[in-house]
Structure formats: structure tokens, C-alpha cells
Chain A
Amino acid sequence: MRKAPPTNPRILAGIAALSAVALLIGGAFLGLILEGWREWRNAVDAFDPYLFRVAGFTIWQAALSTILSVAPALLLARALSRHPSFPGRALILRLFALPLALPAIVAALGLLELFGRAGYLSGLFGWIAGGPWQGIYGLSGILIAHVFFNLPLATRLFLEALDIVSPDYWRLSSQLGMGALPSFRIIEWPVLRSALPGAAGLVFMLCVTSFTLVLTLGGGPRATTLEVAIYQALRFDFDPARAVALTALQVVITIAALAVLTRLGANAAGDANLNVASPRLPVAGRSETILNAVLLSLAVLFVLGPLVATVASGVQADLSRLAGEDSVRNAAATSVVLALAASLLSVSLALALVAARRAVSLRRGGSGSLLDRLMDTGAGFILVVPPIVVGAGWFILVRRFADVFAIAPAMIVSVNAVMAMPFAVRAIRPAYDAAAERHDRLCAALGIRGWARLRLVDWPVLKRALAMAAAFAMALSLGDLGVVALFGSDAVQTLPYLLLTRMGSYRTADAAGLALLLGLICLGLMVLAERLGRSRAR
């Protein structure tokens, strides 16, 4: 008499999305394992001292980058928190959100134009050093670039933690007349200390898997990380066995780092939120204020410098000639088409996962199941599988039976879509869950379902969140160099790839112009995404 419970289309969609992701990752690992199986002797031989030196350098540069990013970030976050309202504070916070929006290759170029051998500051540094300035190169370049990206990120993470401290604590501390040191010891440090492992872990993770910055700023075999070595093994030496060995090592290191990271309670997806308001009264004394002002000014200069350098050298480039070049136009068109496709795919996957997660958690007794957990945390977990690893796996797998470069568009779209998916999930999920909470029963009672529900109920409520996720995913995908570096060719070039080739052939002015163009597009998309997110919160 009773009907069997109908299979929920939302759960089916989620399973389909998970399967697509599993296919992408699984295919890559299949390729690696098959190659390792077939060429096991070569793969084992590849574990030579050079490989271990590369692995050691990967960890070493990541550890240094983490310390150099996180330690100053503690002081900066504290300074921002002690001065809750001064002119320009909101601007500083916005500036600190910029590096996240900037494609790594654009930032790398900006840093070279500032600190490079022929950079704007080479005269100054040469005078200080008392000789010709050699420019940032190797470890120093990698460290500066990583700090440029991660110092602002860590600062914002710490500030977020400090902003959660109850305003009553601050009122109490000023009533009790606590100075800078006691209130640091009693109020701020406990909060920062609890946020420290998560933030440091996240930065370490980002630095271990960083590819573009090391590729463009690292120098030669002495300053190479595993990811760059994988790329070189496949693109230059054509040594798949070595690539397999390198990838295996990279995966081991990432998994180990992730294990530590989750134990420390870090959020692998990072955070794109920006907290501007803070309800506290200013409490800092005079000398502390001066110290904080100096700290903040230095940080602002450090973050602003490469941005200004990018713009300054970008406008010097012959932009009109660049815009007229066929290769540039083709690359721009390719970039936009691929990024649009990636963003669409990413948002669809994210929406399917979010909807399925909701449906699963509503099902009686369904919570805690494997499916539930996969949909909940599986999305964030993707972030730790580096795009280069996925790309390398498919590269090795496909080359056996097809032209590797022919699948470039599919690889770029799918890998970028999956890499942006955790961010899309974070953008969509709160809006979706809130809307479902309000509307599910009502829709069931009135029989609103299928297309009518999408058109009348879900789309009006979710379009902002979806657009925000799409803009974000598109920006990430546009700026990415990881997969296209492996699969790019004369036939399939994106803007970052073209930028890399122009840099490689020392056409610096062209590169600067392209960097400006790419940076502006990505920035525009990020600003759009943030606007959409903000007005939703209204």
C-alpha cells in the first residue's frame, strides 16, 4: 500500500557530481600507478639524491615562507585590532584582500619589476649593497612572493579571530586600566594562539603546493620544488618515470601536511570574508600607536609595491599593439571561453553537492553516513590535490593512446572547475541552506517542484550567490597557470600561458602589458563577486 520512497533527484545529482570529481582524480592516479607499474625500475631509480634535495627544498621553503608570513601577521592583526577606527583602515583591509584576487603569475611579474635585477628598486638596493644588485632570484624570490601572498591572508585570518572577542572584554580591560602588554597577554594572545596552528597550516599548505611562483621566480635546480620538477620532467626531459616518482613524493608530503593540518583544526578552504567593522573603542597609547603605524605602513608598502609596479610597467607597454596581435586576441578568447566553461561546471558541481548534502542530512538516520561526510568535507578535501598532480597523471595516462595536447581544453576546464569548487560551495551553501530551510515544506505542501520550483523559488533567491560563485571561479580559472603549463601548446594558449612564454623569451614589455590586462580582468571579477556577496548579506 505504501509507496517506496522515491529516489531523491537532489541526492542523485550530488552522487553524479562526486563521481565526476572522483573520475578526474581517480584517472590521474590510475595514470600514475600504471606508469609506475610498467616502468617500476626507472621510477625507483628516479629516487636519487637530486629528487630528495628537491623534496627537502620544497619543505624548507614552505617552512620559511610560513614563518616569515605568520609572525609579522600576528603583529599586524594586533595593530589593526588595537586601532579599530582610523582613516584608511578599511582601505588597508581591502588592499590585503587583493593578493588573493591576483593571478600568481601577475604578482610574480610585479615582484620582478620591483625587486628584479632591472627592477625599479635595483638602484636603491645596489647602493645599499655597495655593488650591482643581482635581483631576487631563487630562494629569496620565492620567499618574497610567498610572503606577498600569505602575509595579508594570515593577517586577515588573525584579525577575524580577534574580532570575535567579546566587546565586553575590551570594555572590561579599559575599565581595569590594562596597558598594551597585559591586554596582549590576557586577551589577545590566547585568541591568536588558538588561531595560529590553523593559519600557519593553511599557509604552509599553500606554499608546499605553490607552482607558478616557484616556476617564475625560482632559479635552476638549486631552487626547485616538486611541482616545478614534475612539470620539467614532463615538458622538458620527457621522463614520465621521474614524474611518477616526484608526484608520489608530492602526494605523500601533501597528505602528511594535511593530516597535521586537520589535526590542528585548520580550514583547508581558507577564507574570503572581509570584516570591516569593529565595535571597539581605541585603547592604544601614544608610543604603541607610533609603533603600529610604522608596522602597518611597512606592510602596506610591501603589498602595494608590486601592484604599483605591475600597473606602472603595464601602462608603459605598447598596449594598442598588443591588443591588435592575433596571438593575444586568441589567447584572450581562449582564456575567456575556458574560464567561463570552468566556472559554469564548477558552480553546477557545487550546487549539486550543496543540494545533495542538504537532502542527505534531512533524511532520517542519514547523517553520519559516508555519503553525508563525503558531501560535507569532500569538497574541501579537493584543494589538497595539487592541479599539477592531477594534470601530470592524465598527461601520463593519455599519452599512451592519444595526443596529449588535444585534450588540453578539457583538462584545463575540468581541473580548474574542480579546484574552484570548494570556494563555490562556500559561496552557495549558506544561501541554499537558508532558502531550503524556509521553502522546502512550503513547496512540498503547495506541490511546487521541478522547473516551477527552480524558476519561482530557487533562482530568485540563489541567483546572487550563484553569480558570486561563478565570478570567483572564473577569476581563479582565468589566472591559473598550473594545468595549462603542462598541456598548453601553440594551438591552445591562455593569457597566463602566453605571459609565461613572453617572459621566457625576454619580451618583458609585452609580458608587463599582458599582466596588467590579466590582473585587471581577475580583479574586476573578484570585486564583482565580493559586491554580490555583500549585497546578499544585506
Chain B
Amino acid sequence: MSKEAAGIGLEHVRFSYPDMTMDFDVEVPSGSITALMGPSGSGKSTILDLIAGFREPDSGRILIGNDDVTGLPPDRRPVSMIFQENNLFGHIDVAKNVGLGRSPSLRLTETDHADVADALARTGLAGMERRLPRELSGGERQRVALARALVRDRPVLLMDEPFASLGPALRNEMLDLVLELQAERALTVLFVTHHPDDARRVASRIIFIEAGRIAAAGPVSDFFGEDGPAAFQHYIGNEGRFARKAT
């Protein structure tokens, strides 16, 4: 059902803040789940914003699949993004919030309505179509955002600490849902998290960034082994001793 799977490529992408210049060069393989980790202020959200089109690089190219998307406005990129919060319009009910993923002017056909209902059912929200976002729990709201991403049907899903405000059990539940959806649609998922457990639970790869540079990138197993990158071990509080599980 989904369009062709698409990897993400950042080729010497430079982006400057007044006090910091970031430079990213990295690839995210298509059809994988990649966790984007790093200290606060290292540029995790900036990378997502660059891929999604909320920010434009000073130089370099951003590729999705085989296409150069640099300079395209956010809605023309084959990308859906889920923020930590404010994913929904508060005055619009759940079904319409999802429907906006299909038509930004809410002109929906019968097929569209059926797809919305399917997406809501798939994310466990059947029966909540007419609710307003404020009548939902935090987890349910993020489910609506996921449902909208399903309806939008873009090959790349970006998530910026999507479940940070949820408790551990709920977070795992949501991650498992993302894993299922990713497998069904062959999505390329890139998500920011601070929790090593999240990465281990669903990701196949990790990109670790520090101070606006890619410090390390590779399979998850490379990171948690005894010879994992020192900076990453330091970040997760495991300096030199891979004896106990990170908490």
C-alpha cells in the first residue's frame, strides 16, 4: 500500500545558528528504524527539522529515496513528522485531525473516510472519532498523530521524542505499535530519544551526534557492546564498564 520505501541521505548538510555551526553527513537505510541520540543541544531536532523541511541548510543536499528534496516545502516532501506535543488541532475532532493528513482542506472522498476509519482502528482508536484532543490521554493523542501518518502514507516517518511524556509501560506499548506499523508499511523511521532502552527495543541502528557532528552511526549492537563508542558510553552513563544495564 505504501509508496516505495525510501532511505534518507544527508550530504554535507551545514546549518548555522548564531553561536554554532552544524555539519551532518549520514545515511539512513530505507525500511529501517533508526534511533537518533545525543546530548541536549547537540542538534537532534535540527536534523529532523532539516529532513522535514522546517529549516533549510546553508549548503549541502538532502536526499530522500533518489530525489533531492532540498528546498521543497515541508508538505511536498515524502515525510510525516510527529512532534513531542501539539500534533493535533485542539478545536478539531479526532477523525478530522486524521483526515487532514489526506486533504489539507478536509475535502474527503468516501475512500478517504474509509482510510481514516481503518487508520483509527489500526491505532486502537476506534470509537473515538468525534472526541476532541483535550478529551484524550497523552498516549491517545500520539496515537492520533500516528493514525494521521498512516493516512498520509509517506515512506519516511520522523518522530521527535514522541513518547517522552508517557510512562515506561505506555511508552513501550507505543514503540511496539510503531514497530508493527513500520513492518507493515516498510517505513523508514528516524526517531529522537534519550532512552537507550527505546533504541534497543525497536531500532536496528543508532545515529549518535555531539555538538552538531555525527559522532557515530551503525547497528545497535555496535553501540552497546564493550567496545562501543566512548562518547556514547559516556552519554548513557556506562563509562568503560559494560556490566550493568543502563537505566
Using CB atoms and an 8 Å cutoff, list the residues of chain A in contact with chain B. 1-3, 365, 437-439, 441-449, 451-452, 455-457, 460-461
The reply to whether A446 and B100 form a contact with Cβ atoms under 8 Å apart is: yes
The reply to whether B105 and A442 form a contact with Cβ atoms under 8 Å apart is: no
The reply to whether A438 and B105 form a contact with Cβ atoms under 8 Å apart is: no
Contacts of A460 in B (CB 8 A): 91-92
The reply to whether A452 and B104 form a contact with Cβ atoms under 8 Å apart is: yes
* Bound form: Cα–Cα A455–B103 in Å: 14
Residue B197 interfacial (CB < 8 Å): no
The reply to whether B71 and A446 form a contact with Cβ atoms under 8 Å apart is: no
Complex: chain B residue closest to A447, CB-CB: B75
* Bound form: Cα–Cα A439–B133 in Å: 14
Q: How many A-B residue pairs have CB under 8 A?
A: 62
The reply to whether B71 and A2 form a contact with Cβ atoms under 8 Å apart is: yes
The reply to whether B105 and A446 form a contact with Cβ atoms under 8 Å apart is: no
Contacts of B91 in A (CB 8 A): 460-461
Nearest chain A CB to B33 CB, angstrom units: 20
Nearest chain A CB to B59 CB, angstrom units: 9
* Bound form: Cα–Cα A264–B43 in Å: 42
The reply to whether A449 and B104 form a contact with Cβ atoms under 8 Å apart is: yes
Nearest chain B CB to A284 CB, angstrom units: 42
Closest 3 CB pairs of A and B: A447-B75, A452-B105, A448-B104
Out of B70, B80, B83, B86, which one reaches A1, CB within 8 Å? B70
Out of B75, B83, B87, B105, which one reaches A456, CB within 8 Å? B105
The reply to whether A438 and B90 form a contact with Cβ atoms under 8 Å apart is: yes
The reply to whether B101 and A446 form a contact with Cβ atoms under 8 Å apart is: yes
The reply to whether A1 and B52 form a contact with Cβ atoms under 8 Å apart is: no
Q: Report whether over half of chain A's contact residues are helix, strand or loop; otherwise say mixed.
A: helix
Contacts of A442 in B (CB 8 A): 83, 86-87, 89
* Bound form: Cα–Cα A460–B74 in Å: 24
Given contact pairs A452-B104, A456-B100, A445 touches B80 in the complex (Cβ within 8 A): yes
Nearest chain B CB to A453 CB, angstrom units: 8
Residue B73 interfacial (CB < 8 Å): yes
* Bound form: Cα–Cα A78–B96 in Å: 51
Nearest chain A CB to B219 CB, angstrom units: 30
* Bound form: Cα–Cα A445–B74 in Å: 5
Residue B136 interfacial (CB < 8 Å): no
Nearest chain B CB to A493 CB, angstrom units: 43
Nearest chain A CB to B185 CB, angstrom units: 18
Contacts of B75 in A (CB 8 A): 444-447
Residue B68 interfacial (CB < 8 Å): yes
Nearest chain B CB to A455 CB, angstrom units: 8
A sample of 30 cross-chain residue pairs with beta-carbon separation below 8 angstroms, ordered by A number, consists of A1-B70, A2-B56, A2-B70, A2-B71, A3-B71, A438-B86, A438-B90, A439-B86, A441-B54, A441-B83, A441-B86, A442-B87, A443-B104, A444-B75, A445-B80, A446-B100, A447-B74, A447-B75, A448-B104, A448-B105, A449-B104, A451-B105, A452-B104, A452-B105, A456-B89, A456-B105, A456-B106, A460-B91, A460-B92, A461-B91
